[in-house]
């Protein structure tokens, strides 16, 4: 499937796949706002994760709704926006798109458990303990490029290479040709 033009790009994947780092780099390249999904979690979600308790679908819907609305507003102001969000299930990706009211391009940072576990061991996250990694992979429904608006990139590529791959695929964002 070819990519459906979208002015909202969400970098997705399991914890420690590099969503925030890659999302920030893409947003800088495009000169558009970057919204980290972590900042839109209600405090109750943060406390659950901090305690090592995986979130349920019911925990996630309000969070996803807030993030989708914020991304839509940012895209309205600046013509495009980039977000970082795990978006692990197809239902979450569909919900984000529905709530945003427009197409979203999901950039899936694809990495195996060993690579992600190594990254997770090297970093300190405010509320995502390594103990939740298995639940992240158990929840993950790998996006299907035949039926979803997704660009899959390997997490083992450099941030710069991923950023170039993504921005080269955004030919519909004509106003941002200056960065190519």
DSSP string computed for 130-145: GGGHHHHHHH-----T
Distance CA 105, CA 121 (A): 29
Tell me: the pLDDT tens digits for 45-56?
988 888 888 888
Predicted pLDDT of residue 129: 54
| pLDDT, tens digit, 9 for 90 and up, residues 10-43 | 999 998 899 999 999 999 999 999 999 989 999 9
How far CA 65 is from CA of 92, 97, 111, 150, 163, in Å, comes to 10, 10, 27, 20, 26
**Per-residue pLDDT of the chain in tens (180 residues, 90 and over written 9):** 578 889 999 999 998 899 999 999 999 999 999 999 989 999 999 888 888 888 889 999 999 999 999 999 999 999 999 999 999 999 999 999 999 999 999 999 999 999 998 887 776 655 555 566 888 899 999 999 999 999 999 999 999 999 999 999 988 775 554 444
pTM for this model (two decimals): 0.90
Tell me the domains of the chain and their CATH numbers. 8-171 (3.40.50.300)
């Amino acid at each position: 499937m070819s990519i459906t033009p979208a002015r909202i790009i969400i970098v997705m994947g399991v914890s420690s796949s590099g969503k925030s780092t890659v999302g920030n780099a893409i947003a800088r390249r495009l000169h558009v706002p970057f919204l980290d999904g972590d900042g839109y979690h209600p405090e109750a979600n943060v406390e659950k994760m901090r305690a090592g308790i995986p979130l349920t679908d019911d925990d996630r819907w309000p969070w996803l709704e807030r993030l989708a609305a914020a991304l839509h507003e940012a895209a309205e102001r600046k013509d495009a926006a980039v977000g970082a969000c795990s978006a692990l299930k197809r239902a979450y990706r569909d919900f984000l798109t529905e709530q945003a009211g427009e197409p979203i391009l999901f950039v899936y940072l694809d990495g195996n458990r060993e690579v992600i576990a190594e990254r997770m061991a090297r970093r300190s996250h405010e509320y995502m303990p390594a103990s939740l990694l298995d639940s992240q992979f158990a929840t993950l429904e790998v996006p299907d490029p035949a039926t979803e608006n997704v660009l899959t990139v390997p997490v083992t590529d450099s941030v710069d290479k991923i950023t170039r791959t993504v921005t080269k695929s955004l030919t519909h964002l004509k106003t941002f040709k200056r960065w190519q």
